[in-house]
């Protein structure tokens, strides 16, 4: 049986998804939003989030359906191409849970390219 996670509708990415807080958008489709990190830790630092309410990768890995997994993973290339790093290379980083330093309780993939200035 899948585990339940308590999603906080007032987290900052939920507010961005509702349009209550602006973001510097890179890409959007029905399932995914990507935007520049407000406090970049690398020359290029973009966040990719599913629009569905997943607290973390633990939540997503246990509960997402195949379409949600497919669209999030396929968004990685789309975003990498849009920001021009798909050929030069990039890192994908995910903090999973507070113990790993996850600050925003809505799943997000960090896409990092160029010089890394500090750890995410």
Helix runs in the chain, H state only: 12-18, 57-63, 66-82
The minimum distance between CB 1 and ligand AMP, in angstroms, equals 27
For 85: left if phi > 0, alpha if psi spans -120 to 50, otherwise beta; the answer is: alpha
Burial 36-61 (b: 16+ CB within 10 A, else e): bbeebebebbbbbbbbbbbbbbebbe
- Residue from 39, 99, 115, 119 touching ligand AMP (CB under 6 A): that is 39
The minimum distance between CB 94 and ligand AMP, in angstroms, equals 7
CA distance 59 to 20: 25
Stretch that binds ligand AMP, among 54-62, 68-76, 84-92, 99-107 (CB under 6 A): 99-107
Is 97 one of the binding residues for ligand AMP (CB under 6 A)?
no
Q: Which of residues 45-84 bind ligand AMP (CB under 6 A)?
A: 47
Q: Is 108 a catalytic residue?
A: yes
Q: Identify the residue whose tokens are 């600050």.
A: 103
Which positions lie near ligand AMP, rule CB under 6 A?
Answer: 12, 21, 23, 35, 37-39, 47, 95, 101-104, 120
Would you name the residues annotated as active-site residues?
Answer: 108
């Amino acid at each position: 049986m899948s585990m339940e996670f308590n999603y906080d509708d007032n987290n900052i990415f939920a507010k961005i998804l509702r349009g209550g807080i602006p973001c510097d958008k890179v890409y959007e489709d029905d399932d995914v939003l990507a935007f520049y990190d407000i406090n970049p830790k690398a020359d290029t630092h973009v966040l990719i989030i599913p629009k569905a309410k997943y607290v973390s990768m633990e939540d997503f890995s246990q509960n997402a359906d195949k379409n949600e997994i497919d669209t999030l993973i396929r968004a990685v290339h789309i975003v990498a191409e849009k920001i021009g790093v798909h050929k030069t290379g990039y890192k994908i980083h995910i903090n999973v849970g507070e113990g790993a330093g996850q600050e925003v309780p809505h799943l997000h993939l960090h896409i990092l390219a160029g010089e890394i200035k500090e750890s995410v």
